[in-house]
Amino acid sequence: MTGTVDLKPTLDRIRSKGSFPHKNDGSVFRNREGKLPSERPDYYREYVHPTPGVSGPGPQRIVVGDGGEIYYTPDHYGSFIRLD
């Protein structure tokens, strides 16, 4: 992906504990790839960020840690960008 991605709608949904359209929204992210700091197995939660032109969940996710840290992955866990 290239260009600017507006994560605000998904971040707002997470913060407000609003409706989650994807069945895995809020599920435990286990960090199997080891690309985030090592924490206990249930520390991170993942949420789908819609990808234009892709049906289904697509590759974009926001991962939130229990400590409030927020990460964005545009490529289904291939890389992460810390947002906070």
Secondary structure (DSSP) of 11-71: HHHHHTT----STTTTEEE--TT--S----TTSEEEEE---TT-SSS-S-EEEEETTS-EE
Report the alpha-carbon distance of residue 55 to residue 29 in Å, rounded: 22
39 belongs to the catalytic site: no
Report the alpha-carbon distance of residue 18 to residue 37 in Å, rounded: 27
Q: Write the CATH number of the domain with boundaries 8-31+41-82.
A: 3.10.450.30
Report the alpha-carbon distance of residue 26 to residue 44 in Å, rounded: 9
Q: What is the pLDDT of residues 17-38, one digit of tens each?
A: 877 888 889 999 999 999 999 9
Q: Quick check: 12 pLDDT over 90?
A: yes
22 belongs to the catalytic site: no
Pick the catalytic residue: 33, 49, 69, 76? 76
Q: Which amino acid would we find at residue 28?
A: V
For residue 47, what are the β-bridge partners? 62
Pick the catalytic residue: 22, 39, 46, 69? 46
Q: Quick check: 50 pLDDT over 70?
A: yes
The pLDDT of residue 64 is: 97
